Chains A and B, each alone.
Chain A
Amino acid sequence: EAGVAQSPRYKIIEKRQSVAFWCNPISGHATLYWYQQILGQGPKLLIQFQNNGVVDDSQLPKDRFSAERLKGVDSTLKIQPAKLEDSAVYLCASSAPGPSGANVLTFGAGSRLTVL
């Protein structure tokens, strides 16, 4: 099966600019996640979707970050305006349907953001 697709792989912007990342999960995976991975740290959940509804966005800095998952498939994560501390790898992941806490997440390769 095809994996989780993410684009762009790399992005360099200046602070206060905006950026958008795109994710296409594995076909049929109802749950989609966006994680932020800062260098030297483990991934931190930003937002979790179940189909096209938000399950958990408690750690999303909503003054600058937004995300949507139209039609319960693709998702876009936007940052506007970007700050220096937003420099990180943004990982998208998806998991199979079913309310199981033991579901395995399948990750994309990530989008590396550098804010200058």
Chain B
Amino acid sequence: AQSVAQPEDQVNVAEGNPLTVKCTYSVSGNPYLFWYVQYPNRGLQFLLKYITGDNLVKGSYGFEAEFNKSQTSFHLKKPSALVSDSALYFCAVRDRGSTLGRLYFGRGTQLTVWP
């Protein structure tokens, strides 16, 4: 069975500080991993994905994520948070062996960046 866990419902950081949003996953095979962001009353927007190769993936708006196979984690990071980063963040996983397979989402982490 495939699943995604985002252990923190909420993350609060001060503007200018680094941020981390945690994600762990469980798949039967090797994963494709994704981060999406959702602003109020908007659909989900793609941030970045891990396919293969370098474990550190860089994405939109200065975000990056590190794939750690031994810990089955894919934490989202940003060196310096902005107030405009405040949003709901979703981690998602798909089994690499399933080309049209289902994308499983975590329950989301609300990031709040205060001035």
Using CB atoms and an 8 Å cutoff, list the residues of chain A in contact with chain B.
4, 31, 40-45, 48, 50, 55-56, 91, 93, 99-102, 104-110
In the assembled complex, B114 has its CB within 8 A of some CB on chain A: no
Q: Is the CB of B44 within 8 A of A102?
A: no
* Bound-complex Cα distance A50 to B99 (A): 12
- B residues near A110, Cβ cutoff 8 Å: 43
Q: Tell me if A31 and B100 are in contact (CB < 8 A).
A: yes
Nearest-CB residue, chain B, relative to A91: B43
B100 and A99 within 8 A (CB): yes
Q: Which residue of A lies closest to B47 (CB)?
A: A104
Interface size on B, residues (CB 8 A): 27
Binding site for A on B (CB under 8 A): 4, 32, 34, 36, 41-46, 49, 51, 90, 92, 94-96, 98-103, 105-108
* CA gap between A101 and B29 in the complex, in Å: 13
Check A55–B105 contact: CB distance below 8 A. no
- Complex contact B46–A101 (CB within 8 A): no
Q: A104 to chain B: which residues have CB within 8 Å? A: 34, 46, 49
- In whole angstroms, what is the CA distance A104 to B45 when docked? 10
Knowing A99-B100, A101-B96, A101-B101, the reply to whether A41 touches B44 (Cβ < 8 A) is: no
Closest chain B residue to A44 by CB distance? B105
